[in-house]
Amino acid sequence: MATYFKYKTPTDVVADAERLGLSHIAMSDDLSVMFQPIEVGGRTVGNRWAIQPMEGCDGTLDGLPDELTFRRYVRFGCGGAKLIWGEATAIADDARMNPRQLWLHAGSAAAIEKMLADCRAAHREAFGHDRDLLLGLQLTHSGRFSFRRPQLATHDPILDPLTRDKATGSFVDASYPLLTDDDLKRIEDQYLDTAKLAEQIGCDFVDIKQCHRYLLSELLAAKNRPGQYGGSLENRTRLVRNIITRLRAELPTLLIASRFNAYDGIPYRGAGEDFIGEPCPHELPLATAFGTDPQDHLRDDLTESLQLARWLRDWGVGLLNVSLGNPYANPHLVRPAEYPPVDGYKPPEHPLIGVDRHFRIAARVQSELADSSSPVAPRQDPPMAASKSDCSATSTAHTVFPSRIDRATVPVVGSGYSWLQDFVPQAAAANVSLGRAAFAGLGRGTLSQPDFVKQLADTGRLDRKRVCRTFSYCTNLMRTKNHPLGQYATGCPPFDKEVYGPLWKEAEAKRSK
């Protein structure tokens, strides 16, 4: 397999991007921009680093956080990021993606409240206060990926043949029943009830999840669904609109966020001797791919995605997180990686192309929502009390951008950074300086180095011995289901060996049988 990441300096990354004809890969050595505060929903957030929402798959069968869950959020809390976007938390038992996913209900609320409180306490202990920390949960319904049985919003002619009903062992087809309009109205109520609990247990915000082809994401693409939740974009956004407008009316002080797919693409499968990803057979025009050119799945069409972003702002969403693709059907779009997961395929494109796609689309969404009339004033006191660093990078400078951080009507969190490895900080600083995003979000990279922000503040660089190399160990653990609880917990076996090394060996042995 080809090794793509061969860069020694940020300049090497930019040069390779230029060779590939990419336009949104830039680097800045002035990392101070990443430690400037920003206002989000009337609150000050202390820096521009976000922990992305990731399912740890380490809860109990009743949806409570378990030992590893508590450990993860304590590590995030003392790690230095000021936006901690809590993981996908189900609104109902039958909405869970796996049997160990968090599920917020009356019986789990106290435990999840403690998880959040422990996270805050760790942050206070490390940095003196948590006044500029924003901490929330992503509320989700897994839809067709619900582990008990698929719950489809629409039939997708490409994705249906890949969707297995575990109860019967068969794949779904055109005869498989869809969620009814009444089902969706019931789910709307479940979102409201869960959000109320989230506010009661101390969430600063809730994310109404619309990404990765889970239920609300699938509805965005449901052009072929009949009735009041399909067809027109107005109908396809009816459920999320109802949820958000009711939340605004009933919970006026709760910040509402949304992570949404701006581009779906289509499913891929490995093919040939080298098992390189190829698009699944499909007919044109594409009927169920949001943000995608109906005549060419390789091209995004952001017309509806940008309209959705504007509507979300108008309905009362105060924070957006832009994502792409589907981790089960086209993982190279969601998270460019050096090595594919066990259920994936070798990348059909240079991972830098995937990174550029993330940056370009997030920048387009942020541009759509930007208000340059009200710049954020630089903060005068040190952004992190425990830091002794001026937060400037020590790598060789090649491009330093002037700071042009504008206050956005809705700040956008950009994704897709982890494959850049050592050069994540410089890419993030360039994007934020250029106004392409308000925050840089890391997912996998925080499992290997949860204190990455503190490392940057203290030393101006990441700890090279713990930088995520996107080898997909974490995903492979998550994909291993042969466990007494039906699901292995996920973490970073190479760089968190004491905890996840034994789990990796156990899972690897089971997969090799």
Q: pTM value? A: 0.93
Instruction: Decide if pLDDT at 75 tops 90.
Output: yes
Q: In the predicted model, what is the mean pLDDT of residues 234-246?
A: 98
In three state form, how does the secondary structure of 254-266 look? CEEEEEEEEECCC
pLDDT for 371: 67
Alpha helices in 61-131, H assignment, sequence order: 67-77, 109-127
- Give the confidence band of 381 by pLDDT, cuts at 50, 70, 90: very low
State the residue range of the domain holding 486.
481-513
Q: Do residue 174 and residue 89 come from a single domain?
A: yes
Please state, in angstroms and rounded to a whole number, the distance separating the CA atoms of residues 100 and 178: 25
Residue 83: φ, ψ to 5°: -120, 110
Question: Beta strands 276-279 and 43-45: pairing type?
Answer: unpaired
pLDDT for 1: 59
Q: Do residue 390 and residue 507 come from a single domain?
A: no
Q: Do residue 450 and residue 486 come from a single domain?
A: no
- Could you give the C-alpha distances from 492 to 23, 199, 258, 263, 476, in angstroms and in order? 32, 31, 27, 28, 10
In a 3-state reduction of DSSP, which class is residue 444?
Answer: helix
Q: What is the pLDDT of residues 132-176, one digit of tens each?
A: 999 999 999 999 999 999 999 999 999 999 999 988 999 999 999
Instruction: Decide if pLDDT at 177 tops 70.
Output: yes
In a 3-state reduction of DSSP, which class is residue 121?
Answer: helix
Residue 112's CATH number = 3.20.20.70
Q: Do residue 375 and residue 250 come from a single domain?
A: yes
Instruction: Decide if pLDDT at 399 tops 50.
Output: no
Instruction: Decide if pLDDT at 47 tops 70.
Output: yes
On whether residue 4 sits in a domain, the answer given is: no
Q: Is the dihedral of CA 430, 433, 436, 442 positive or negative?
A: positive
Q: Is 43 exposed, middle or buried (0-12, 13-18, 19+ CB in 10 A)?
A: middle
Instruction: Decide if pLDDT at 395 tops 90.
Output: no
On whether residue 2 sits in a domain, the answer given is: no
On whether residue 3 sits in a domain, the answer given is: no
Please state, in angstroms and rounded to a whole number, the distance separating the CA atoms of residues 151 and 94: 9
Domain count, the chain: 2
Instruction: Please answer whether residues 223 and 287 qualify as being in contact, where contact means their C-beta atoms are separated by less than 8 angstroms.
Output: yes
Q: In the predicted model, what is the mean pLDDT of residues 449-467?
A: 96
Q: Do residue 458 and residue 486 come from a single domain?
A: no
Instruction: Decide if pLDDT at 284 tops 50.
Output: yes
On whether residue 192 sits in a domain, the answer given is: yes
Please state, in angstroms and rounded to a whole number, the distance separating the CA atoms of residues 47 and 438: 10
Q: Do residue 28 and residue 64 come from a single domain?
A: yes
On whether residue 181 sits in a domain, the answer given is: yes
> How confident is the prediction for the chain on average, in pLDDT?
92
> 4-18, 180-194, 389-403: which range is least confident on average?
389-403
Q: Do residue 236 and residue 379 come from a single domain?
A: yes
Q: Do residue 414 and residue 500 come from a single domain?
A: no
Q: What's the DSSP call for residue 436?
A: S
pLDDT for 261: 98
pLDDT for 382: 32
Q: Do residue 315 and residue 448 come from a single domain?
A: yes
Residue 450: φ, ψ to 5°: -65, -20
Instruction: Decide if pLDDT at 239 tops 60.
Output: yes
Instruction: Decide if pLDDT at 393 tops 90.
Output: no
- Give the confidence band of 369 by pLDDT, cuts at 50, 70, 90: very high
Please state, in angstroms and rounded to a whole number, the distance separating the CA atoms of residues 70 and 128: 21
N- to C-terminal Cα separation, the chain:
24
On whether residue 5 sits in a domain, the answer given is: no
> 75-84, 300-309, 412-421, 501-510: which range is least confident on average?
501-510
Distance of CA 218 to the CA centre of its chain: 16
In a 3-state reduction of DSSP, which class is residue 123?
Answer: helix
On whether residue 144 sits in a domain, the answer given is: yes
Higher pLDDT, 99 or 403: 99
Q: Do residue 430 and residue 489 come from a single domain?
A: no
Q: In the predicted model, what is the mean pLDDT of residues 90-99?
A: 98
> DSSP letters along 206-221, please?
EEE-B-TTSHHHHHHT
On whether residue 1 sits in a domain, the answer given is: no
Q: In the predicted model, what is the mean pLDDT of residues 106-121?
A: 98
Q: In the predicted model, what is the mean pLDDT of residues 429-435?
A: 98
pLDDT for 13: 98
Q: Do residue 407 and residue 505 come from a single domain?
A: no
- Find the angle CA(198)-CA(369)-CA(234) to the nearest 5 degrees: 70
Q: Do residue 438 and residue 507 come from a single domain?
A: no
Instruction: Please answer whether residues 456 and 426 qualify as being in contact, where contact means their C-beta atoms are separated by less than 8 angstroms.
Output: no
